[in-house]
């Protein structure tokens, strides 16, 4: 199989509306209104990162400071997929480096996962925001369906290169765009669900939702649940390693 082609797992999604790239279609084939034509011929993370830096496939590039591409080991067994870069990530140019990223780092350590062995990315690579009513703050705005669709080829290409054994969707936006609109993170968190994306796919909350908890006690409880979810993913990675 040409490296231009995704594996079967990386090519499809449970949500037919988000099947931007259909089976047997090369990654670079034109999918109107998406980043697909920008996917480089030689699929490496460096090539993808370089190409994504100048992506204008949706209007979010006009708002964000820069493309925030995924980062981590090209051989990562575990891929974590969030929604989009936040304010800090947009300025730094790296995913999960703001407050939610710090919480994620702590949770990964507590779950026994080495972040250096993980690939972290988002379904959308530019920061979607609106100005605060007062002051200069930039307020997170959930990306539109059309923006998620436009950006999807970058994620598919990241999956095609890294071929993770386990994918964890962080939050409802990532989970519903990859696992279907009916997917409920609250109902199905930490359960492995059938998916063509990877052999083992599950979802949990986005760490930013824990930061929004109303009080310390609730925040602590939600963080413990998040760590427990990540332990499920870590256990699956270890089991797969033992079986390999």
Q: Distance between CA atoms of 151 and 168, rounded to whole angstroms? A: 18
CA-CA-CA-CA dihedral for 109, 115, 117, 121, to nearest 10: 140
Side-chain half-sphere CA neighbours of 106 within 13 A: 13
232 near ligand SF4, judged by CB under 6 A: no
Query: Torsions phi, psi of 169, nearest 5?
Result: -85, 130
Which segment (17-25, 90-98, 118-126, 209-217) binds ligand SF4 by CB under 6 A? 118-126
Q: Looking at beta carbons only, is 157 or 166 nearer to ligand SF4?
A: 157
| Total residues interacting with ligand SF4, rule: CB under 6 A | 16
- Smallest distance, ligand SF4 to C-beta of residue 65, A: 11
Binding mask 170-199 for ligand SF4 (x = CB under 6 A): ------------------------------
Number of Cβ within a 10 Å radius of residue 23: 11
Binding mask 35-64 for ligand SF4 (x = CB under 6 A): x----------------x--xxxx-xx---
Tokens of 55: 């992506």
Burial class for 199, CB neighbours closer than 10 Å (0-12, 13-18, 19+): middle
68 near ligand SF4, judged by CB under 6 A: no
Q: Looking at beta carbons only, is 57 or 118 nearer to ligand SF4?
A: 57
- Smallest distance, ligand SF4 to C-beta of residue 98, A: 18
Q: How far apart are the first and last CA of the chain?
A: 23
67 near ligand SF4, judged by CB under 6 A: yes
Binding mask 121-160 for ligand SF4 (x = CB under 6 A): ---xxx--------------------x--xx--x------
Query: Torsions phi, psi of 24, nearest 5?
Result: 70, 10
On whether the CB atoms of residues 147 and 173 are closer than 8 A, the answer is no
Instruction: Please give the residue ranges that form the binding site for ligand SF4 (CB under 6 A).
Output: 35, 52, 55-58, 60-61, 67, 124-126, 147, 150-151, 154
């Amino acid at each position: 199989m040409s490296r231009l082609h995704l594996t079967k797992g990386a090519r499809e999604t449970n949500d037919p509306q988000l099947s931007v790239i259909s089976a047997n279609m090369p990654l670079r084939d034109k999918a109107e209104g998406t980043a697909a034509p920008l996917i480089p011929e030689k699929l490496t993370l460096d090539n993808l990162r370089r190409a994504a830096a100048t992506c204008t496939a949706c209007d979010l590039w006009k708002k964000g400071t820069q493309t925030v591409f995924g980062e981590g080991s090209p051989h990562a067994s575990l891929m974590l997929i969030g929604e989009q870069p936040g304010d800090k990530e947009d300025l730094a140019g790296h995913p999960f480096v703001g407050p939610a990223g710090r919480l994620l780092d702590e949770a990964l350590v507590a779950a026994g996962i080495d972040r250096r062995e993980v690939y972290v990315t988002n379904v959308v690579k530019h920061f979607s925001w609106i100005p605060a009513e007062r002051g200069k703050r930039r307020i997170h705005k959930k990306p539109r369906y059309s923006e998620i669709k436009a950006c999807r080829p970058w994620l598919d290409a990241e999956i095609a290169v890294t071929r993770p054994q386990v994918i964890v969707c962080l939050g409802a936006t990532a989970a519903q765009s990859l696992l279907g609109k009916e997917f409920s993170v609250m109902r199905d968190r930490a359960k492995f669900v059938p998916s063509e994306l990877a052999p083992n796919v599950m979802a949990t909350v986005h760490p930013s939702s824990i930061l929004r908890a109303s009080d310390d006690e609730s925040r602590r409880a939600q963080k413990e649940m998040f760590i427990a979810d990540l332990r499920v993913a870590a256990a699956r990675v270890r089991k797969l390693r033992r079986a390999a």
